[in-house]
């Protein structure tokens, strides 16, 4: 149990602390209060918001989760070191097999005896795909990891019927062709895959089989109907706009949702952000844009629902999100498991990842699924190099949230100083979200200040905070500091002992460029 001001137990925190003390002496600290009320609730946080994404791209599958020749491989050929690290993230919905890869993938190539599976030329990433990992290996991995399977069907070069056959393979009891194939491949019990994405980024010209919105809508409706006729229990995710910058943004979504009608359970959103302008303050303000994207997409869903006078509300599935801008190597040059988009993440990226998660929690009423893109090697929190593995900075905010995700999101009002981001507009220095689970309150706070500490108060208006159960912090003086194989703990979560409870409120001082997650118990 933490409560009193503990002695810092790490060099990093000691440095950050002394930097903030300097500002106190000079009168340069700022003050902010996070105001909460236990009855001001947004909605239950859907655990699937803490999902991931495993694509057959680069070294995500091969040399990522699956590497039979590796010293760490288990009896299934999966890397135990990688899986142990992923276990810490406690991910929920795991989207597979793509991504752009899905739009050229024929699922039937990835089942059956491994020596009979075809090696194919893969066009999305110009790679060679051996199909040694496919549906049954993925499902077995989901079961071992506690992940909820989430499959993307091929609506690029594939047909609605091929998609429907995959549902039969996965979900139907024996007695018919594709279900019997699954049984022959060793799985008597159905895989029971509930979540299915109707293609990937079909609005993007780079997508195999890209078509205008009206044509995609027809394809998606046909596929959804046949898939749901095969298994009434499934839920489908329609392809929404792949970015806010695409010319068809919103209009694509309106057309697709109108045509799919009550068939659409969710619509997808994607977002990759970066600090191309090397302006940390503006970059950290990007959560403004994420909030706006969610609210705009929800507005389309509500608009279409109202126009159709339907009781059915389509919810949001943010099935690709992350920081991605430094490594744009996307051409596999005809290789198997090429090194593609192996982004190196630093402290400011970790704070932006926390910003995405704040936004999802704050919109718990409409964001029901979200998938960090991706999980290993490809724009990922984990990197591998032969038998070695490295945990990147963005791993920590995800882990800190995931451990505290259960409960109901509360509305958050931050009272404190603001600044003006060049492109992302005016934001409070403090970005926050909160989850209440009975007598337990989880508070997440990012301090975006670059060089001034922040005196923070957490005030739950209608209750007193009793004890501080645990708190962790990710912080540093340099936004560009990143982990490396030589220095693997340059950015990581550390215990944060700088909190006190005074008159039922939590007080602490946050160093600049920091993210904290705090678990509190109410009196
Ligand atoms: O995650 C990498 C790629 O980004 C995905 O394959 C695609 O959907 C998106 O453009």
Task: Please give the model's pTM, rounded to 2 decimal places.
Answer: 0.94
* Domain limit, last residue, from 405, 424, 448: 405
Pocket of ligand 1, candidates 373, 377, 379, 381: which has the most ligand atoms within 8 Å of its Cβ, to mutate? 373
Q: How far is CA 327 from CA 124, 147, 324, 345, 379, in A?
A: 17, 28, 7, 11, 9
Cα-to-centroid distance, 102 and ligand 1 (Å): 10
Would you state the pLDDT for residue 376?
98
Q: Please, is 486 exposed, middle or buried when counting C-beta atoms within 10 Å of its C-beta (0-12, 13-18, 19+)?
A: exposed
DSSP 8-state class, residue 156: S
Q: Whose CA is nearest to atom 2 of ligand 1?
A: 99
Q: For the chain, what is the largest distance between any 2 Cα atoms, rounded to a whole number of angstroms? A: 77
Mean pLDDT of 382-407: 98
29 band by pLDDT with thresholds 50, 70 and 90:
confident
209: domain range?
46-405
Cα-to-centroid distance, 44 and ligand 1 (Å): 29
Mark whether 390 and 432 lie in a shared domain: no
Mark whether 391 and 413 lie in a shared domain: no
CATH code for position 17: 2.60.40.1180
Summarize pLDDT for 283-299 with one digit per residue, the tens: 999 999 999 999 999 99
Would you state the pLDDT for residue 10?
33
Mark whether 476 and 509 lie in a shared domain: yes
Mark whether 177 and 277 lie in a shared domain: yes
Pocket of ligand 1, candidates 98, 197, 371: which has the most ligand atoms within 8 Å of its Cβ, to mutate? 98
Q: How far is CA 334 from CA 61, 64, 175, 216, in A?
A: 17, 19, 40, 29
Mark whether 24 and 171 lie in a shared domain: no
Percent of the chain whose predicted confidence (pLDDT) is above 70: 95
Would you state the pLDDT for residue 7?
27
Summarize pLDDT for 445-493 with one digit per residue, the tens: 999 999 999 999 999 999 999 999 999 999 999 999 999 999 999 999 9
Summarize pLDDT for 114-158 with one digit per residue, the tens: 999 999 999 999 999 999 999 999 999 999 999 999 999 999 999
Q: Count CB-CB contacts under 10 A for residue 29.
A: 18
Closest residue by Cα to residue 458 from 436, 426, 425: 436
Q: Whose CA is nearest to atom 9 of ligand 1?
A: 99
CATH code for position 324: 3.20.20.80
pLDDT at 80 over 90: yes
Closest residue by Cα to residue 394 from 52, 62, 41, 35: 52
- Name every protein residue with a CB atom under 6 angstroms from any ligand 1 atom: 55, 57, 98-100, 200-201, 320, 373-374
Summarize pLDDT for 176-205 with one digit per residue, the tens: 999 999 999 999 999 999 999 999 999 999
Mark whether 24 and 90 lie in a shared domain: no
Would you state the pLDDT for residue 13?
33
Cα-to-centroid distance, 22 and ligand 1 (Å): 44
The catalytic residue among 12, 122, 129, 320 is: 320
Mark whether 338 and 463 lie in a shared domain: no
* Domain limit, last residue, from 377, 405, 433: 405
Residue 320 catalytic? Answer: yes
27 band by pLDDT with thresholds 50, 70 and 90:
low
What is the 3-state composition of the chain as percent helix, strand, coil, each rounded to the nearest 5? Answer: 30, 30, 40
Pocket of ligand 1, candidates 197, 237, 270, 338: which has the most ligand atoms within 8 Å of its Cβ, to mutate? 270
Sign of CA dihedral 392, 149, 304, 157: positive
Q: Whose CA is nearest to atom 7 of ligand 1?
A: 99
Mark whether 392 and 497 lie in a shared domain: no
Average pLDDT, the chain: 94
Mark whether 296 and 278 lie in a shared domain: yes
Take residue 100 and report the two structure tokens written for it: 């752009």
Mark whether 67 and 99 lie in a shared domain: yes
* Domain limit, last residue, from 372, 405, 438: 405
Which ligand 1 atom is the nearest neighbour of the CA of 99?
6
Cβ contact 357:403 at 8 Å: no
d(CA 430, CA 461): 19
Angle of helix 213-230 versus helix 251-260 axis, rounded to 10 = 40
pLDDT at 3 over 70: no
Mark whether 353 and 417 lie in a shared domain: no
Mark whether 64 and 147 lie in a shared domain: yes
The catalytic residue among 201, 342, 348, 498 is: 201
Per the structure, how many domains does the chain have? 2
Percent of the chain whose predicted confidence (pLDDT) is above 90: 94
20 band by pLDDT with thresholds 50, 70 and 90:
very low
pLDDT at 24 over 60: no
Q: Count CB-CB contacts under 10 A for residue 249.
A: 18
Q: Please, is 399 exposed, middle or buried when counting C-beta atoms within 10 Å of its C-beta (0-12, 13-18, 19+)?
A: buried
């Amino acid at each position: 149990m933490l409560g009193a001001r503990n002695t810092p137990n790490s060099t990093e925190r000691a440095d950050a602390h002394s930097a903030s003390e300097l500002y106190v002496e000079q009168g340069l600290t700022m003050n902010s209060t996070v105001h909460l009320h236990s009855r001001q609730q947004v909605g239950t946080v859907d655990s699937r918001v803490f999902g991931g994404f495993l694509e057959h791209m680069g070294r995500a599958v091969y040399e990522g989760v699956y590497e039979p020749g590796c010293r760490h491989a288990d009896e299934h050929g999966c890397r135990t070191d990688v899986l142990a690290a992923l276990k810490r993230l406690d991910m929920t919905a795991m989207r597979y097999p793509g991504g752009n890869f899905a739009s050229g993938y024929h699922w039937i190539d990835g089942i059956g005896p491994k020596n009979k599976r075809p090696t194919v030329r893969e066009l999305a990433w110009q790679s060679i795909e051996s199909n040694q990992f496919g549906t049954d290996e993925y499902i077995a991995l989901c079961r071992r990891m506690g992940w909820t399977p989430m499959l993307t069907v091929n609506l690029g070069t594939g047909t609605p019927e091929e998609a429907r056959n995959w549902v039969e393979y996965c979900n139907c009891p024996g007695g018919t062709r594709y279900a019997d194939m699954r049984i022959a491949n060793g799985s008597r019990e159905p895989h029971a895959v509930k979540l299915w994405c109707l293609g990937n980024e079909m609005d993007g010209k780079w997508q195999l089989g890209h078509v205008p919105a009206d044509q995609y809508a027809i394809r998606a409706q046909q596929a959804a109907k046949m898939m749901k006729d095969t298994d009434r229990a499934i839920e489908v995710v329609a392809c929404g706009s792949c970015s806010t910058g695409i010319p068809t943004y919103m209009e694509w979504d309106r057309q697709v949702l109108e045509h799919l009608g009550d068939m659409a359970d969710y619509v997808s959103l994607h977002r990759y952000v970066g600090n191309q302008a090397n302006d940390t303050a503006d970059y950290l303000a990007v959560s403004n844009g994420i909030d706006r994207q969610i609210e705009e997409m929800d507005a389309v869903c509500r608009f279409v629902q109202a126009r159709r006078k339907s009781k059915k509300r389509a919810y949001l599935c943010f099935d690709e999100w992350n920081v991605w801008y430094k490594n744009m190597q996307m051409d596999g040059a005809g290789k198997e498991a090429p090194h593609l988009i192996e982004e190196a993440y630093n402290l400011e990226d970790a704070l932006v990842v926390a910003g995405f998660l704040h936004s999802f929690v704050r919109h718990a009423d409409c964001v029901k699924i979200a998938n960090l893109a991706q999980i290993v090697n490809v724009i990922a929190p984990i990197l591998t190099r032969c038998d070695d593995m490295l945990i990147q900075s963005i791993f920590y905010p995800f882990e800190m949230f995931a451990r505290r995700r259960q409960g109901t999101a509360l509305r958050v009002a931050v009272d404190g100083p603001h600044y003006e981001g060049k492109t992302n507009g005016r934001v409070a220095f403090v970005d926050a979200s909160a989850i209440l689970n009975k007598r337990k309150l989880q508070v997440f706070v990012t301090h975006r200040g670059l060089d001034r500490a922040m005196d923070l108060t957490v005030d739950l208006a209608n209750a007193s905070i009793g004890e501080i159960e645990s708190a962790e912090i990710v912080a540093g003086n340099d936004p560009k500091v990143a982990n490396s194989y030589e220095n693997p703990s340059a950015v990581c979560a550390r215990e944060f002992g700088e909190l006190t409870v005074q008159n039922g409120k939590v007080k602490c001082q946050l160093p600049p460029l920091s993210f904290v997650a705090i678990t509190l118990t109410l009196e």
